[in-house]
Structure 1
Amino acid sequence: MKYCSRCLYPSNHPLYITFDEEGVCSGCRVHEEKDVLDWGSREEKLKKILTAYKNKSENNYDCIIPVSGARDSYFIVHMVKNVYGMNPLLVTYNKQYNTDVGVRNLANLRITFNCDIMTLTVNPESVKKVTRASMRKMGSIYWHCIAGQTVYPVQVAVKFKIPLIIWGAHQGIDQVGMFSHLDEVEMTRKYRKEHDLMGYEASDLIDEFDEISSKDIVQYEYPDDKEIERVGVRGIYLNNFIRWDTRAQHEKMIDLYGYESLEQRRTFDTYNDVDCYNYSDVHDYIKFIKHGYGKVTDHVCREIRLRRMTREEGMRLVKEYESKDVKNLDLFLDWIGMTKNSFYYIIDQFRNKEIWKRNDQWEWKLQIDKFSDLEDNKKQDSCLKIKEKHTPFIITPTGKSTDAKQQYILIGKGVAN
């Protein structure tokens, strides 16, 4: 396995990472733009875009912001409404893997910022059927979450004729440098299908075996191109115009608005994805099985590039968190109605056999000694100099609510009376 000579991304990254003659990955090279671009002028460009879409008659919303009880939702709404003075409509797809912290964060978001919000909760039985199908076809329990999160805002934009959707960071830019910030790429149906949805449209899941019909997938279908053109829908990414630093942004939101963090099972980042009991647990474990690395590697690479962590610190954290067992598998299996044997039988069909082999006890073991060649290589000319010492992420106090912990929450109250 080849690894970037600067961060710790492997060559088999599913978003097709590339390496230059110095062994530095494309993600690290594009990340260098964060230190050289004139972000002041880029923010002025963003302001002009927002001004052009502001609803002068005040009979409609200025834009749509997709939100959740985690990620950079607070920061995006803070910037768009409180800093730039836009009137956004918030939309959220209920992923149904909700934590009490995530439900509380989302409730606090809509109350604190005084925004209208629309929520889509798909019939749980349809979601379960779609999830069984996505597990069988692509080894994913998270497909419905990504599909819903990336299409519901577009559906609302078309229905209510609100042409501008504002997203946070483009994953292809931030992780693997698929584009330059200067490209100013926008949301597209093509990227969503090929990368977010692993090559599958919702209609591809219709199957008698999984008992999925067209009525089960209608909420995941992208609007017709003619409808999008009629409204003029476009989706911009703030990280093309604002220097993106998700840790610093979250800590600002903790100070300003009481955003709640949560200790994660398989990563040290306590700010991202705290709304989902599967994302940094069962979902991440499946990612590790399929690609040989987990979410902790994404977070380590980000911190290395932002010069807050050395590669040695990153290696230690990756080895520490990737070795942890999942915590919420029983909760997921009880929700979907599946046995452990069935779960592992399905997921093992997607296990990367080039890096996983069974031992004499018939247990799966990694066949690569991760980072061994990097640890032996003391000359690391590509490594970045540390600007800020790595410190633990904040664990905030837990708020009060009537929502149960470690139990399935379809729709939560979020805050106590």
Structure 2
Amino acid sequence: MEFCSRCLYSSSHPLNLVIDDEGICSGCRVHEEKDLLDWNKRENKLKEILDLYKNKSGNSYDCIIPVSGARDSYFIVDLIKNKLGMNPLLVTYNKHYNTDVGVRNLAELRIKFDCDIMTLTVSPETVKKITRASIRKMGSIYWHCLSGQTVFPVQIAVKFKIPLIIWGAHQGIDQVGMFSHLDEVEMTRKYRKEHDLMGVEAEGLIDEFDGITEQDITQYKYPDDKEIERVGVRGIYLNNYIRWDTKAQHEQMIQKYDYETTKQTRTFDSYNDIDCYNYSDVHDYIKFIKHGYGKVVDHATREIRLKRMSRQQGLELVRNYIYKKPRNLDLFLNWIGMAENGFYYMLDQHRNKKLWQRNESWEWEFTDQYLIELENSFKTNNKLELSENFKDFILTNNKRSTDATNKYILISKGVDK
């Protein structure tokens, strides 16, 4: 395992990061573009693209924006609607693992931006059936979320003939430098299958063993290429045109729109993915089992590249969070109807045996190989000079909830208005 000498990523990153002769990874190299590109020029190019899709009659939507109760939804809608004057249709996939904070944020998004929104809520029993299958086949409780979030906007674009979908940051660019910002890479079925869906399309889940039928996966099927071509659907990523800084963007939205934040189990980031009980909890612990690292590495790497955090500070945060057990596992097991030993038995089939070993009690222990090799990589000095001191993520006051806390919320209006 080889580590980047600038950030905290290794050559074993599941998105296939590359490390050059100077010991610097492709993600850090592409990230350098953020300080080199003329972002005013890039934003003007975005405006030219948007002008092509503005509905001159004003009787229809100009674009689709996928949203949730977290991530950069507020920032994207504020930019596209309020600053750039587009009329978006918001779409959201109900991930079923919803927190009360996320429900309130999504409700406030609907109200404060005065946008129409369409929501897909798949039958809970179907979602549970698919999740059991995805745990067994891929070691993932999140396949249905990733699939639904990436296919529902495309389905709506085809159905209502709205050709432009506007996404936030492309993960392959922002994390591992799979593309340059100048490539202006757009949404593709291929990338979705290979990376978002771990190589398994909806049709690949049909199985007598899991009891999944064609009908069960209907809502997760990608539209036919001919349908997409007929409408001319394309999906652009804003981080190709806007200098992407999710921490700064969220803090703008806290000030402007009272975006709500909260602590998470396995990372210091209190802004992203707070709408989900599992993303930085059970789902992230599974990532630790499979790959030996978690979201705290992603988030610390991002802050290191943005020159707000030293590599040593990042390493200390990783040490603080990497071993934390999921706080919400019982909630998930009760929801899906599964015993803990059965859950871990299925995950053990996907466990990284290079990083995990059985002890004398036949329990799995992390070998610490990841952290040992990461610390050894500090011997090469490619550190960035800090442009500012790292400031903790803001924790806002919790608002009054209309929903029960500490349980998944399937349907709710979110705010008492």
TM over 0.5, yes or no?
yes
Amino acid at match of 1:238: L
1:242-261 paired onto structure 2 within 5 Å: 242-261=242-261
1:8-407 paired onto structure 2 within 5 Å: 8-373=8-373, 375=375, 379-407=379-407
| Contact persistence 1:126–1:216 (CA under 8 A) | yes
- Report the aligned-residue RMSD: 1.0
| Contact persistence 2:4–2:377 (CA under 8 A) | no
- CA separation of 1:23 and 1:344: change in aligned 2, threshold 3 A: same
| Contact persistence 1:157–1:165 (CA under 8 A) | yes
- CA separation of 1:362 and 1:379: change in aligned 2, threshold 3 A: closer
- CA separation of 1:377 and 1:226: change in aligned 2, threshold 3 A: closer
| Contact persistence 1:401–1:413 (CA under 8 A) | no
SS in 1 for 2:20: coil
- CA separation of 1:374 and 1:336: change in aligned 2, threshold 3 A: closer
Distance between the aligned counterparts of 1:190 and 1:115, measured in 2?
31
| Contact persistence 2:292–2:370 (CA under 8 A) | no
| Contact persistence 1:25–1:176 (CA under 8 A) | yes
1:103-162 CA deviation, whole Å, 9 max, x = no partner? Answer: 000000010000000000000110001100111100000000000000000000000000
| Structure 2 unmatched runs, 5+ | none
Distance between the aligned counterparts of 1:378 and 1:10, measured in 2?
13
Distance between the aligned counterparts of 1:324 and 1:377, measured in 2?
24
Distance between the aligned counterparts of 1:131 and 1:379, measured in 2?
43
Residue 391 of structure 1, CA deviation: 1.5
Residue 408 of structure 1, CA deviation: 2.1
Distance between the aligned counterparts of 1:234 and 1:377, measured in 2?
41
Residue 367 of structure 1, CA deviation: 2.1
Residue 380 of structure 1, CA deviation: 3.8
| Greater Cα offset, 389-398 or 103-112 | 389-398
Per the normalisation by structure 2, the TM-score is: 0.98
Amino acid at match of 1:56: K
| Contact persistence 1:100–1:412 (CA under 8 A) | no
Distance between the aligned counterparts of 2:323 and 2:377, measured in 1?
24
How many pairs does the alignment contain?
Answer: 417
Amino acid at match of 1:268: F
Residue 15 of structure 1, CA deviation: 0.3
Residue 382 of structure 1, CA deviation: 1.2
1:355-386 CA deviation, whole Å, 9 max, x = no partner? Answer: 11111121211224444355456654311011
| Greater Cα offset, 253-262 or 354-363 | 354-363
Residue 33 of structure 1, CA deviation: 0.2
SS in 2 for 1:71: coil
Per the normalisation by structure 1, the TM-score is: 0.98
- CA separation of 1:201 and 1:370: change in aligned 2, threshold 3 A: closer
SS in 2 for 1:215: coil
| Contact persistence 1:164–1:234 (CA under 8 A) | yes
Distance between the aligned counterparts of 1:276 and 1:373, measured in 2?
32
Hey, what does 2:7 align to over in structure 1?
7
Distance between the aligned counterparts of 2:187 and 2:131, measured in 1?
24
- CA separation of 1:77 and 1:32: change in aligned 2, threshold 3 A: same
Distance between the aligned counterparts of 2:323 and 2:301, measured in 1?
18
Q: Percent identity?
A: 71
- CA separation of 1:10 and 1:373: change in aligned 2, threshold 3 A: closer
Distance between the aligned counterparts of 1:307 and 1:342, measured in 2?
43
Distance between the aligned counterparts of 2:282 and 2:128, measured in 1?
16
Distance between the aligned counterparts of 1:66 and 1:373, measured in 2?
39
Distance between the aligned counterparts of 1:379 and 1:287, measured in 2?
27
Residue 201 of structure 1, CA deviation: 0.6
Residue 11 of structure 1, CA deviation: 1.5
Distance between the aligned counterparts of 2:219 and 2:246, measured in 1?
30
| Greater Cα offset, 321-330 or 75-84 | 321-330
| Structure 1 unmatched runs, 5+ | none
Distance between the aligned counterparts of 2:372 and 2:186, measured in 1?
39
Distance between the aligned counterparts of 1:312 and 1:394, measured in 2?
22
SS in 2 for 1:203: helix
Amino acid at match of 2:142: Y
Residue 400 of structure 1, CA deviation: 1.4
1:236-267 CA deviation, whole Å, 9 max, x = no partner? Answer: 00000000000000000000001001100000
Residue 412 of structure 1, CA deviation: 1.9
- CA separation of 1:374 and 1:149: change in aligned 2, threshold 3 A: closer
- CA separation of 1:355 and 1:372: change in aligned 2, threshold 3 A: closer
Distance between the aligned counterparts of 1:79 and 1:67, measured in 2?
13
